[in-house]
Amino acid sequence: MAETRVGIIMGSQSDWPTMQGAAESLDTLGVGYETRIVSAHRTPDRLWDYGMTAAERGLQVIIAGAGGAAHLPGMMASKTRLPVIGVPVQTKALSGVDSLYSIVQMPRGYPVATMAIGAAGAVNAGLMAAGILALGDAALAERLERWRAALSASIPETPEA
Ligand code: RP5
């Protein structure tokens, strides 16, 4: 089994159907990960502990998804030097624009690499994490290259009538 290098965290169980996309990307590329529910508002102590120990536990990238007043990615970025990739989960009230704005507008010094709203963002978060890890992992880099080439090859040149 692949060693755990990525932490996929989310504010609620209700975020999992979205965040599953990140897990699927990592599964496809053979990158080990763990999944946790860590809420900035409901479990702040859990957030604190996770951020404090993530690097020493061997994690290398954190993917954080949350919706609404989505403080989780930014708060996590304040607690760890690891790169944090934020996924704005789509909400009912404001379609995820609230999540996006909450995650993307970080103040200077604590960056969060913010993905698109919803499912595409979650899938891309997994790919982005793999791309970061591939910088120091030639075998993963090759798997990622092959995956990208296959995606490209799957796109038809002309639309079906
Ligand atoms: C956020 O509140 C979570 O990230 C989730 O997207 C949203 C709603 O959570 P639930 O009420 O479904 O638990 O903290």
Ligand 1 center from residue 13 Cα (angstroms): 8
Please tell me if the CB atom of residue 115 comes closer than 6 angstroms to any atom of ligand 1.
Answer: no
**Domain segments of the chain as ranges:** 4-153
Question: What is the CA angle 37-43-45, rounded to 5?
Answer: 115
Q: Which residues does residue 159 pair with via DSSP β-bridges, in sequence order?
A: none
Please tell me if the CB atom of residue 67 comes closer than 6 angstroms to any atom of ligand 1.
Answer: yes
- 12-62: per-residue pLDDT in tens? 999 999 999 999 999 999 999 999 999 999 999 999 999 999 999 999 999
Measuring CA to CA, how many Å separate 48 from each of 21, 38, 66, 79? 25, 9, 16, 7
Instruction: Yes or no: say if 57 and 82 are a contact pair by the CB < 8 Å rule.
Output: no
- Which CATH topology does 4-153 take? Rossmann fold (3.40.50)
* Predicted-complex ipTM score: 0.96
Ligand 1 center from residue 125 Cα (angstroms): 19
- 65-105: per-residue pLDDT in tens? 999 999 999 999 999 999 999 999 999 999 999 999 999 99
Q: Which two tokens stand for residue 116?
A: 């698109």
Q: Which two tokens stand for residue 38?
A: 């860590």
Instruction: Yes or no: say if 123 and 24 are a contact pair by the CB < 8 Å rule.
Output: yes
Q: Which residues does residue 146 pair with via DSSP β-bridges, in sequence order?
A: none
- Per DSSP, the three-state class of 96 is coil
Please tell me if the CB atom of residue 96 comes closer than 6 angstroms to any atom of ligand 1.
Answer: no
